[in-house]
Amino acid sequence: MAKVESFELDHTKVKAPYVRLITVEEGPKGDKISNFDLRLVQPNKNAIPTGGLHTIEHLLASLLRDRMDGVIDCSPFGCRTGFHLIMWGEHSTTEVARALRDSLKEIRDDITWDDVPGTTIKTCGNYRDHSLFTAKEWCRDILAEGISDDPFERHVVAD
């Protein structure tokens, strides 16, 4: 079996919430794609309930694109502790951490149910499993800890 970097990471050493650059891959024509670990809660200590995580996912899909160029996809980890962020080009963890922080602030402070995209039977594969209330509560707790641009040392990005 091929080795997967995420399964090689020592999850007992990281200090969430953080942004971690997993890898930058280069395609045959020189195009670069960056893969980030957006870890919102401490692995094996906590997990975001699926309804809240699902709503955060739908919102981050738009909010991160509003703040950064090159976003390809933002997908939740099965362990429910965060997301993979895939982007064209190379980006710093500080840039991504600021965009993540600002997106979570918008979810916490400004988003209403009417703002959440993809919540109908036609636009979502599991439209019943959303919770804006839970998303806001988790964003509040995550932001209270601060988003670090380093996975092993707490270096919270400033406003």
Q: Is 58 annotated as a binding residue?
A: yes
Residue 17 and residue 154 in contact, taking contact as beta carbons nearer than 8 Å: no
The residue assigned the tokens 């099965």 is: 78
Q: Is 54 annotated as a binding residue?
A: yes
Joined together, the tokens standing for residue 35 give: 């893969």
Q: Which helix (H) or strand (E) covers residue 68, if one does? A: none
How far apart CA 26 and CA 86 sit, in angstroms, is 13
Q: Which helix (H) or strand (E) covers residue 5, if one does? A: helix 5-8
Classify the C-alpha dihedral 67-117-72-56 as positive or negative: positive
Beta strands in 40-115 (DSSP E): 71-76, 82-88
Q: Which helix (H) or strand (E) covers residue 140, if one does? A: helix 132-145
Q: Is 91 annotated as a binding residue?
A: no
Per the annotation, binding residues are 54, 58, 124
Per the annotation, binding residues for Fe cation are 54, 58, 124
